[in-house]
Homo-oligomer: A and B are copies of this chain.
Amino acid sequence: MARGFRQKIRQKDTDSSGFGTNASGRFINKDGLPNVRRKGVNVFNRLSWYHTMLNLSTFRFLSYLVVAYILVNIIFALIYYSIGVQHLTGIDKSDPVNEFIDVFFFSSQTFTTVGYGRIAPVGFLASLVATFEAFLGLLTFAIATGLFYGRFSRPRAYLRFSDIALISPFQNTNALMFRLAPYKNNALTDADVIVSAAIEVIEDGVAKSNFYRLETRLNKINTLALNWTVVHIIDENSPFNGFSEEDFKNTDIEIIVQVRAFDEVFSNTVVQRSSYVTREIIYGAKFVPMYYPNKDSQSTILDLDKINEYQQVDLPVLAEEKG
């Protein structure tokens, strides 16, 4: 909870944050999604299954497809079996298990439209069901095609943020710094960053969050190919002006970051968000450089493993803190 620090707040941005002053817990999760749960309405209306399928991990997505494939074939096998195996040619009728196995494989050969014909429907009902199973199979693969395309064509920034933000010395004062770098072979240009801070304060005995826009030294860069160290100078315009190490440790702070850039391959704007809370802010440290020239000095190497590397430094004693 918040406590009495010397707060000289200007330009509160609370209203336009979109979060109420009494929303609870972290606002933005580390993965960039808001920490809000919805209830009411029907759960099926509340879920966009397309958004859900796009956000699944590749492994889970493929597992769901395989499980659905097996289930569908079991269901159709049961239908064919109840219609009667005598309406399918080429079934191994040695015992009921073998019958069911052959019916299952007939179903899969129909659903995938492979249709060898060794097993084939002959009666009206079996043929009718097969007619719809083949149709359903094609529609299912039509949907799967869309899902695959939706998943891998989804524009994403592929940015890695440093896990921690630092309070570092910067030009005779302090600055809040964190950094980010593109980690894939995508080409980002015209990147900009918006940083805001939610700081919990006690007003009239009630804890509430105030939101502030944090100015950054650069909020736009042309080519996002190397790492970008975002610098918020802690001067009289910063809500952190006059914060001591103790204040940073004992105040509930959340730094919310939104990066927007243009991806040249997707020809689309991509956005990625992240946040830093109190325990992820390190006082008195600076980042270690993470890029260096290649041996032949003809290109630059960006070492992504160094993104979280920092070293402890002394911060300058500022006039205000001395006073």
Spell out A's residues near B (CB within 8 Å).
15-20, 22-28, 32-41, 45-52, 54-55, 65-66, 69, 73, 89, 92, 101-102, 105, 108-110, 112-118, 120-122, 124, 127-128, 130-131, 134-135, 137-139, 141-146, 148-150, 152-156, 158, 160, 183-187, 189, 191, 194, 196, 217-218, 220-226, 228, 258, 262, 264-271, 273, 291, 293-294, 296-306
Contact A149 B145 (CB under 8 A): yes
**Nearest B residue to A194, CB-CB:** B222
Q: Whose C-beta in chain B lies nearest to the C-beta of A224?
A: B18
B117 A185 Cβ-Cβ under 8 A? no
Can you add 9 more A-B contacts, CB < 8 Å, to A18-B225, A45-B183? A27-B223, A28-B223, A36-B225, A40-B305, A109-B134, A115-B117, A116-B116, A189-B273, A264-B273
Do the beta carbons of A148 and B153 come within 8 Å of each other? no
Question: Can you report 24 residue pairs joining A to B where beta carbons are below 8 Å apart?
Answer: A15-B217, A17-B221, A20-B291, A22-B293, A25-B293, A32-B187, A36-B301, A37-B300, A37-B301, A41-B305, A45-B184, A51-B184, A89-B118, A102-B127, A105-B131, A113-B115, A117-B117, A117-B120, A138-B144, A146-B148, A146-B153, A222-B258, A264-B271, A267-B271
- CB atoms of B118 and A120 under 8 A apart: yes
With A18-B228, A113-B113, A142-B148 as given contacts, are A122 and B127 in contact (CB-CB < 8 Å)? no
Most interface-central of A112, A185, A293 (chain B CB within 10 A): A112
Asked if B134 and A108 sit within 8 Å, CB to CB, the answer is yes
B152–A146 CB distance below 8 A = yes
On whether the beta carbons of A302 and B48 are closer than 8 Å, the reply is no
**Interface SS of A by simple majority:** mixed
Given contact pairs A18-B222, A116-B117, A127-B101, A184 touches B25 in the complex (Cβ within 8 A): no
- Closest Cβ of chain B to A79, distance in Å, is 16
Contact of A115 among B116, B264, B299 (CB under 8 A): B116
* A52, A138, A194: residue with the most chain B Cβ atoms closer than 10 Å: A138
Establish whether residues A48 and B127, one from each chain, have CB atoms under 8 Å apart when the complex forms.
no
Given A120-B117, A221-B18, answer yes or no on A142-B139 (Cβ-Cβ < 8 Å): no
Closest partner residue, chain B, to A34 (CB atom): B225
**A185-B52 contact in complex given A117-B115, A300-B36, C-beta closer than 8 Å:** yes
Q: Are the C-beta atoms of B89 and A25 separated by less than 8 Å?
A: no
CB distance from A223 to the nearest CB of B (A): 4
